[in-house]
Amino acid sequence: MISPIKRSAVLLSALLFASATLAMAQETKKTIKKAPIERTSAASGEEMYKTYCAVCHGIDGKGDGPAASEFKTPPTNLTLLAQHFNGKFPEAYVAEVIKNGPKEAKKAHGSEDMPVWGPAFGSISGGARSPLVKLRISNLSKYLESMQAK
């Protein structure tokens, strides 16, 4: 016959083990898998936005896309860019972030999960120096400007 003290010790040990296992399972880090870039028309900022940006920034640009919850800090609400820059859309800044990635990526996303689109666009446009890369960035930036809150 097992004494009540030994039985309690065994049950307590089992409970602690189960709790630790459950805690470890909940701490499993989520990862965002990067997929190959899909070809889109360089002429359509809207098509590029919906294909490349909406999954994180949301279809309306408000930072609420399906992948947004996976980031430490939600993606930027792109409809407020002009408001954050004294009412003027920051075209040069936006083009730089699209081309080279945000300088604050580690702080904003917890990692460098936001793609650097310059090289990605180069891979589907005949190289990084292709005029199509500049066209893509310009048209995507113009589309973002059209999304600004009034």
pLDDT digits (tens, 9 = 90+) for 61-111: 999 999 999 888 889 999 999 999 999 999 999 999 999 888 764 444 444
If 0-12 CB within 10 Å is exposed, 13-18 middle and 19+ buried, where does residue 87 land? exposed
Tokens representing residue 145 in the block: 């400007």
pLDDT tens column, 120-149: 999 999 998 999 999 999 999 999 999 999
Evaluate if residue 49 carries a pLDDT over 90: yes
CA–CA separation, 71 and 69 (whole Å): 6
Domain boundaries, the chain: 1-30, 45-146
Arithmetic mean of pLDDT, 26-38: 63
